[in-house]
Amino acid sequence: GESVGLHLPTLSVQEGDNSIINCAYSNSASDYFIWYKQESGKGPQFIIDIRSNMDKRQGQRVTVLLNKTVKHLSLQIAATQPGDSAVYFCAETTWANNLFFGTGTRLTVIP
Amino acid sequence: DGGITQSPKYLFRKEGQNVTLSCEQNLNHDAMYWYRQDPGQGLRLIYYSQIVNDFQKGDIAEGYSVSREKKESFPLTVTSAQKNPTAFYLCASTPTGGTYEQYFGPGTRLTVT
């Protein structure tokens, strides 16, 4: 089966700095990727998604980069705020398949 | 408010008892999912349902059962056969039509002692 994993389980950044969270995937057939944010004791919230025909997508303060050559995607958060502290998951899927989630990276923003 | 509701938020049971977790959505989504999350781990798929009266096992279905009698409801029963039932359970739903984004409920934390 597919494996989706993150390079670092924890990440600490100063408030106002940019954050970069990385994710590796192993299924080259995956064509859709999502980043979720999960705050403590809550369900995951959608942040941004990207399809395999794109290599970059931007949202509000967030950018997702997809490198299909090395099967890697990253989530960049600009001007990180205390409210960004959470666990971030990447998820992948192929057509008609279910989502496969990584183990998550805990982002801590230091005021 | 449209969304997914799970109840209760915290649930305590004695070992050997079956327990049913509720999941309701008013988003008119066709597909619904149940995940289990353990500390420091990602989400693991228990069961999913693409349409009413139909459901499939996920990666860790043993010890669990579901039903999908109504489009808006997808209850999960944790049976006494589940060896390690204590976990955080998340329900999700998604519309059909080519979108894969799953919308999650707030979760139920089940503790079995």
Q: Which residues of A touch B21 (CB under 8 A)?
A: none
- Asked whether the predicted pLDDT for residue B93 surpasses 80, the reply is yes
Give B1's pLDDT tier (boundaries 50, 70, 90). Answer: low
- Asked whether the predicted pLDDT for residue A3 surpasses 50, the reply is no
In the block, which residue shows the tokens 């496969």?
Answer: A100
Range A67-77 average pLDDT: 95
Q: Give chain A's mean pLDDT.
A: 88
- Asked whether the predicted pLDDT for residue A67 surpasses 70, the reply is yes
In the block, which residue shows the tokens 């942040």?
Answer: A47
Asked whether the bond before B8 is cis by omega within 30 degrees of 0, the reply is yes
CB contact under 8 A, A41 and B101: no
Stretch 33-52 of chain B: residues touching chain A, C-beta under 8 Å: 33, 35, 40-45, 48
CB contact under 8 A, B104 and A4: no
DSSP B88: E
Option in A41, A42, A49 nearest B101 (CB): A49
DSSP A83: G
Option in A4, A9, A99 nearest B102 (CB): A99
- Sign of the CA dihedral A49, A46, B88, B5? negative
Alpha helices, H only, chain A? none
Give the per-residue pLDDT at A28. 85
What are the residues whose beta carbons fall under 8 Å from the beta carbon of A78, sequence distance 6 or more? A18, A61, A62, A63
Q: What percent of chain B has pLDDT over 70?
A: 96
Give the model confidence (pLDDT) of A78-110 as tens digits. 999 999 999 999 999 876 667 888 888 999 999
- Say yes or no: B109 contacts chain A, CB-CB below 8 A: yes
Give the per-residue pLDDT at A100. 86
CB contact under 8 A, B106 and A43: yes
Question: Going along B1-113, which residue ranges are E strands?
Answer: 4-7, 10-13, 19-25, 31-37, 43-51, 54-57, 64-66, 76-78, 87-94, 103-104, 108-112
Give A7's pLDDT tier (boundaries 50, 70, 90). Answer: very low
What are the b/e assignments for B96-109, b being 16+ CB within 10 Å? eeeebebbbbebbe
Give B69's pLDDT tier (boundaries 50, 70, 90). Answer: very high
- Asked whether the predicted pLDDT for residue B97 surpasses 70, the reply is no
